[in-house]
Amino acid sequence: MEQKTTVFESRYDDGVELFCIIWVGVVYRGRTVVVAWRIVPQASSTVKLWSIQRVLRQAARIVPPDVEVVLLADRGFADGKFMKYLKETLQWHFRIRIKRSFQVQLDGQWCKVSSVVLQPGQAYFTPKIAIGKTRPYEDVYLAFAHDRQSGEDWVIVSDEPTTLQTFAQYRLRFQVEESF
């Protein structure tokens, strides 16, 4: 049977500082179709892991067994417990943008992501590493790139080896804005 890949996008949006909407959508034909969501009353943009897991379980129930899922998420989801849940419990792959303040173990030494300096248009892909010095999460890969147009540095963490394709996959996240 042919392996199918579905790209899910996970996000939480603050609503007037009274509530937060946690949702997961499938990226399909240039759009994101929301398949699971939850409204959480709270004044903070920090969402508890169990609230996110609840929405992910709701989405997981509709995924056919022959479909491979890749979850795309922004920096607010960059957490070792979250990545472990995706990989071990849901058996989903992930591409998550991380902050430049993250600690990573490169060549056996801990350093900040920001210590990796790239020239415009340059990319760098790590071998298997650990992230998060306080509570390390191992066996992940990083993709670093400096975007010429925006001047931004991008760092994506993945459970699979990274390539330039990692950035193309992550870019699918930006189709979500068209859904609102």
Q: Which residue, 23, 27, 36, 34, is CA-closest to 6?
A: 27
Q: At residue 48, what are phi and psi to the nearest 5 degrees? A: -70, 145
Give the pair of three-digit tokens for residue 140: 């992940």
Single-letter residue type at 122: Q
Average pLDDT, the chain: 84
Q: Which residue, 71, 77, 89, 33, is CA-closest to 51?
A: 77
Half-sphere exposure of 5 (CA within 13 A, CB side): 7
Q: Output the CA–CA distances (angstroms, integers) from residue 132 to 56, 78, 80, in the order listed.
A: 23, 10, 7
Q: Domain segments of the chain: what residues?
A: 4-179
What does the pLDDT read at residue 96? 94
pLDDT tens-place string over residues 63-115: 888 889 999 988 888 899 999 999 999 999 999 999 999 999 988 899 999 99
Q: Where are the alpha helices (DSSP H) in 44-145?
A: 49-60, 80-84
3-class secondary-structure state, position 147: coil
Where is mean pLDDT largest: 10-19, 45-54, 133-142?
A: 133-142
Q: What is the pTM of this model?
A: 0.86
What does the pLDDT read at residue 127? 96
What does the pLDDT read at residue 1? 33
Which has more confidence, 164 or 148? Answer: 164
Mean pLDDT of 51-67: 91
Give the pair of three-digit tokens for residue 82: 């979250």
pLDDT tens-place string over residues 121-155: 889 999 999 999 888 999 999 999 987 777 788 99
* Cβ within 8 Å of residue 124, ≥6 positions away: 116, 118, 143, 144, 145
Q: Which CATH class is domain 4-179?
A: alpha beta
* Cβ within 8 Å of residue 127, ≥6 positions away: 141
**Distance in angstroms (rounded) separating the CA atoms of residues 33 and 83:** 23
* Cβ within 8 Å of residue 97, ≥6 positions away: 73, 74, 75, 78, 154, 155, 156, 157, 170
Q: Is a pLDDT exceeding 50 seen at residue 2?
A: no
Q: Which residue, 142, 81, 82, 132, is CA-closest to 111?
A: 132
